[in-house]
Amino acid sequence: MLLPSSQLSMPVLIVAALGVAAERPAHVATLSNLHAPVCVLYDQDQDIYFVSNINGAGTARDNNGYIARVSPDGRQLTPRFIEGGRGAVRLDAPKGLAILGDELWVADIDTVRSFNRRTGRPVRSVKMPSPGGLFLNEMTTGPDQAVYVTDTRLEFHGDDASHLGPDRVFRIGKDGAATVALEGDLEAPSGIAWDRVHQRFLITGLQGTHIFEWRLGTRSASPVWKGVGGYDGIVLDGSSWLVSSLDGAGIYAIRDGSEQSIIDRLTTPAAIGFDPKRRHLLIPSFEANTVQIWLVPDP
């Protein structure tokens, strides 16, 4: 079901028909009937969006998580494209997503699983090396054709969460072998993105105020930005970073040495995605059980 933009709190300016660029992001659609969605990923080849749904607690091994296929206009094409408990699929609490070749990679508590992104069939499951993953979160691919996944290192006791360091980023190579690529204090790392212009990874701190940069071949990361904090997802739009903030309850654009709120009063904005073809920003909310689609102006 699509919710009308009138239900959203932020006014929008739509002036494209007059040949003038929108000054603020404009709401396109809200996709509901989801179950704790936490990540949205654009598949350029298929021109669709994948949405991971925890469908329960973030660390529950209940095998009822699922991934939906969604059209760019917000229609659910295959509501449960990959579903835990169906056939040979194991999927407990899927979070971050990444695409490498024909595989859709999924972070699932302490295991990274991959599926054929066209058929949904399971391909492989990869456990993290000792001492193992604790709260595998968001993912990206690097220039070395490997998959990288953050371990936010959260342990839950009811509604209370404890952060257990040290924080880690794991690497999964083409052969499926997992290694610890980065370890240290990353303020509970969540989002991760590859910045090809500056040849670095950008990593957000969920329980701090920093965004870190980390370069391949090094064993430590350095703070590169300090702002509102509580950063979850991050996507790159040219020289701009678009980040979701749980502390700020919104989306922030970081560019030219400044941080600006561009969409506010959001409920738990998580691992955002970006469709550069349409300039769609894709915002999952695990508490509202929705994904909002916004048109963002070219910076």
pLDDT tens-digit profile of 208-234? 999 999 999 999 999 999 999 999 999
In a domain, 249, yes or no: yes
**Is residue 131 classed exposed, middle or buried when 0-12, 13-18 and 19+ CB atoms within 10 A define those classes?**
exposed
Question: Is residue 22 scored above 50 in pLDDT?
Answer: no
In a domain, 278, yes or no: yes
In a domain, 276, yes or no: yes
Q: What's the chain's average pLDDT?
A: 91
On whether the CB atoms of residues 68 and 51 are closer than 8 A, the answer is yes
pLDDT digits (tens, 9 = 90+) for 95-119: 999 999 999 999 999 999 999 999 9
pLDDT digits (tens, 9 = 90+) for 242-288: 999 999 999 999 999 999 999 999 999 999 999 999 999 999 999 99
pLDDT on residue 138:
98
In a domain, 4, yes or no: no
In a domain, 39, yes or no: yes
Q: Which CATH number do you get for residue 186?
A: 2.120.10.30
Three-state secondary structure readout of the chain: CECCHHHCCCCCCCCHHHCCCCCCCEEEEEECCCCCEEEEEEECCCCEEEEEECCCCCCCCCCCCEEEEECCCCCEEEEEEEECCCCCCCCCCEEEEEEECCEEEEEECCEEEEEECCCCCEEEEEECCCCCCCCEEEEEECCCCCEEEEECCEEEECCEEEECCCEEEEEECCCCCEEEEEEECCCCEEEEEEECCCCEEEEEECCCCEEEEECCCCCCCEEEEECCCCEEEEEEECCEEEEEECCCCEEEEEECCEEEEEECCCCCECECEEECCCCEEEEEECCCCEEEEEECCCC
Question: What does pTM read for this prediction?
Answer: 0.91
Q: What is the Cα 129 distance to its own chain's centre?
A: 23
Provide the number of structural domains found in the chain. 1
In a domain, 105, yes or no: yes
Question: Is residue 16 scored above 60 in pLDDT?
Answer: no
Mean pLDDT of the 135-161 span: 92
How does residue 5 score in pLDDT terms, banded at 50, 70 and 90?
A: very low
In a domain, 23, yes or no: no
Which of the pair, 188 or 20, is modelled with greater confidence? 188
Question: Is residue 13 scored above 90 in pLDDT?
Answer: no
Mean pLDDT of the 181-202 span: 97
Whole domain around residue 115: which residue ranges?
Answer: 28-295
**Is residue 113 classed exposed, middle or buried when 0-12, 13-18 and 19+ CB atoms within 10 A define those classes?**
buried
Mean pLDDT of the 162-169 span: 91
In a domain, 17, yes or no: no
CA-derived radius of gyration, the chain: 18
